[in-house]
Structure 1
Amino acid sequence: GKHQRADLGTLRLNIYYTSDHVFSSQSYDSLRNLILQSTGVEPITSSVAWLLGEVVPQKQDVVQPLTRVFLHHGQVVPFVSAFARHEISKITDTNTIFRGNTLVSKCIDELMKLVGHHYLRSTLKPTLDLIFRERKPCEIDPTKLQQGESREANLTNLKEYISLILKAIINSALNCPPVMCQIFSELKELANTYFPNEREVRYSVISGFVFLRFFAPAILYPKLFDLTTEQIDSSTHRTLTLLSKTVQSVGNLVSSRTSHHNFRESYMREVFGHCVTDKHVE
């Protein structure tokens, strides 16, 4: 008996204990007021919100409370607008606008999670549920096909799911939460102001968030976004990966306007050509 128990091995636990002391709301009045005044500070880099983003080691630790404070007090739009204006004014390469994990980019990500969950769920869940229910093979990489699989049949399956996903996203525009719409409107106006001669920028600043940082990650990791409780097998995960890649491609207007040769995987070019049409891009 002792020998059998020893064969089970050992378990090492690394436990962290955090004690947070929360005081009454009035205790934070001064700090809260300083934070809320950040949008009117010039230069913005002297504001409390900006400085918190610089001094806190883990940016996410400051992104969550900042976004919640400004959202609660109805000032999240001017907050994002002020910080986005500063960031976009420093841009020299329009392909990199809001593509990094800056304070304002992460705050917009956090905002979309806070106010956009129902929107995300109502838009994607019906198609994701269908994928989990049918579990059709969609592998189109010739080197990864299982024995007996047909690439043509898999491509047909993938195109069907892509069409459903894109249709759901396109038709969901009127359901987008008002706060998100206001943020995107501000970003579009900033793009018009700073890049008046580059028409695509006014759309890419929005699509970068909507497609690349909102829909695509949720398709790839539906459990993390509370879109399913299903056990996802390797074949289905591969389907989600291909769908997510495609949604990113549609959202990336810079790539969609260029040659298919810029697509890293050659086997994706056919899918790319199927979904990135003038209808989808416009």
Structure 2
Amino acid sequence: YRDDLKARFPDLNRKARSYDIHVRFYHEHLLERLRMCGERQRIVPQKHDFSDTTLASNNKCCVCQKQAVRMSKCSGCGVAAHEECSNRISFNCGTAGRIRVKYKYSREIIHAKDVYVPFYNALCTNNFCVLRYLNLKVTQQREAFSKALMRVFIKQKNTQRIIKGLVVDEIANTPDMKIVFRHNSLTTKSIDYSMKVFGHEYLAQVLCPVIYHVCKSDANRCEMDPTRVNAEQKYSEEETNQLVDQNFRTLREICTALLARIYATKRKIPAQIRLTMQVIRESVLAESETRGIDPMKDDVTYVSLTAFLFLRFFCPALLNPSLFNLLDEPPEPSAARDMTLLAKTIQTLANMSSFSNKESFMLPMNEFLQAERPKMRQYLDFVSSPMDEDSKAVAIPEPYLDDSIDLPKELVRVHRHLRHVQPLMQSHLDEISTENEHEDCDGFRNVIKQVDYITELNLAEEKTVS
């Protein structure tokens, strides 16, 4: 039987490897260490001291796991729960408490690199026709799929080609140019990941000084909402207005400093990101000409660029600096609120819009936004224009990225995702096959054929091993 399988699948004669993904968490050991740490610090278990508190954002109750803003919070250990749930907490204040562990285990079979060459070539058929079709169709694990795809094309030094194919298709299938790239798709997730890969060092260089400055500052130094400034009712109306005016000036100064850093480092943007911006700009202009609309109307061209540079690059890093490895731990709530207002202002400027009455406390910033808008347009024109030789030199070295990417492993992940959507691909192939000589038919047939082959090869490998 084994010989028969090897006769059917010659690739089985080549050694395959497998890798296991799992998490081992010795929670008992950790709890013991925490208990010993508590003893060294002489923490005596005691009852919780609960008080009714309005939290800064939605938090989960430690008992029922439901979210709420208004909860009872312990002044000792900080645990939060609904008032009706607080009597059901099973651990005392000052103890290690409980730890919930969630882990995932999977096993993948990885064949030799050459086995996946036809599969990769099939994905590239007819300007990535299968990937363009799946752009808005893939909803589950879209981020993981796009990450695996981009790592494959980064390894193959084919990033700009796949980005251009996805961008052109997304723009063509967006009915309203004002909202292009504003929703999540395979295109937006892929570009988002590539910008994080190529632009992390640049992002840290631009944002870290501003983030450190905000985190070291006093609380509420940028807060412009009077209800938050005087949340404890300890200021008079006149004193509250004075604090709001002072915070307004502080917020404007920090925004000015941040924008100055962004504008001053425009030549240091990695070449890979600038090439992506150039592709987006050229594609938007070409589609606008096809539709007979003015690309400058409603700043469509600029908004399509800021959908990535600011909406998915600068501003998320300001909102969650620890997730971008710009800080070792999340900032304090007061600093996080300041950076939220900073990101809100920068994003509104990038959207070429102004604050409305919905956030009336931010209306004083509109004059600042109006003054900065011409500079923002100049900046976007520069980063999306063809590069000179000096700008082309600012590129992330390809060997630096290649060392961290295992191409067969990433193609295995792509194959796994395509298996999940194979019925969708087959249905579309049956639909377009009724049309005479549809240009995408061969592309879909090749991809489905390769997906089936690798699936059968994996099954045969498992049988030979067992």
TM-score, normalised to structure 1, is: 0.86
8 A Cα contact 1:84 1:104, kept in partner? yes
Which residue does 1:270 correspond to in 2?
364
Q: Does 1:124 pair with 2:223?
A: no
Distance 2:351 2:187 in 1: 20
Range that drifts further, 121-130 or 140-149:
140-149
Conserved in 2, the CA contact under 8 Å of 1:250 and 1:280?
no
Contact 2:132-2:169 within 8 A present in 1 as well = no
- 1:228 aligned to 2:228? no
CA distance in 2, matches of 1:263, 1:71: 45
The residue aligned with 1:111 is: 194
Measured in 2, the distance between the counterparts of 1:117 and 1:39 equals 32
Residue matched to 2:314: 215
Deviations 1:66-102 (A, max 9, x none): 0111122121111111111111112221221000001
2: CA distance between counterparts of 1:38 and 1:133?
Answer: 53
| d(CA) in 2 for partners of 1:175, 1:95 | 29
Contact kept, 8 Å, 2:223 with 2:248, in 1: the verdict is: yes
Q: SS of 1:21's equivalent?
A: strand
Q: In structure 2, how many angstroms separate the alpha carbons of the residues matched to 1:103 and 1:31? A: 19
In the TM superposition, residue 184 of structure 1 has moved relative to its aligned partner by: 0.7
Q: Secondary structure of 2:102's match?
A: coil
Secondary structure of residue in 1 paired with 2:107: coil
Q: Compare the two structures and name the one with the higher helix fraction.
A: 1
Which residue of structure 1 lines up, in the alignment, with residue 114 of structure 2?
Answer: 26
Deviation at 1:281, TM superposition (A): 3.6
Preserved CA contact (<8 Å) 1:211 1:248 = yes
Compared with structure 1, are the counterparts of its residues 266 and 52 closer, same or farther at alpha carbon in structure 2 (3 Å cutoff)? closer
Q: How does 1:1-282 map to 2 (within 5 A)?
A: 8=91, 11=98, 13-23=100-110, 24-35=112-123, 37-38=124-125, 40-41=127-128, 44=129, 47-48=130-131, 50-51=133-134, 54=137, 57-135=140-218, 137-146=221-230, 147-148=234-235, 150-196=243-289, 197-199=294-296, 200-230=299-329, 232-253=331-352, 255-256=353-354, 260=355, 262=356, 264-277=358-371, 278-282=373-377
Q: Which sits farther off after the overlay, 9-18 or 158-167?
A: 9-18
Q: 1:229 to 1:272 in 2, by over 3 A?
A: farther
In 2, the alpha carbon distance for the partners of 1:56 and 1:269 equals 37
Question: CA 1:267–1:190 in 2, change beyond 3 Å: closer, same or farther?
Answer: same
Q: Highest CA radius of gyration, 1 or 2? A: 2
- Unpaired segments ≥5 residues, structure 2: 1-44, 47-88, 378-466
Note the aligned Cα RMSD (angstroms). Answer: 2.5
CA shift in 2, pair 1:22/1:118, >3 Å = farther
Q: Is the 8 A contact 1:220 1:241 kept in 2?
A: yes
Name stretches of at least 5 consecutive residues in structure 1 with no aligned partner.
none
- TM-score of the pair, normalised by structure 2: 0.54
Q: Using the alignment, how far apart are the partners of 2:279 and 2:223 within structure 1?
A: 40
Shift of 1:105: 0.8
Q: What letter corresponds to residue 270 of structure 1 in structure 2?
A: P
Q: Which has the higher strand share?
A: 2
Deviation at 1:49? 6.7
The alignment-based identity, stated in percent, is: 26
1:198 and 1:139 map into 2 onto residues whose CA distance is 37
Structure 1 pair 62–13 and aligned structure 2 pair: CA distance change class (3 A): same
Structure 1 stretches of at least 4 aligned residues deviating more than 6 Å after TM superposition: none
Amino acid in the other structure paired with 2:300: V
Contact 2:134 2:186 in 1 (8 A): no
Contact 1:140 1:155 in 2 (8 A): yes
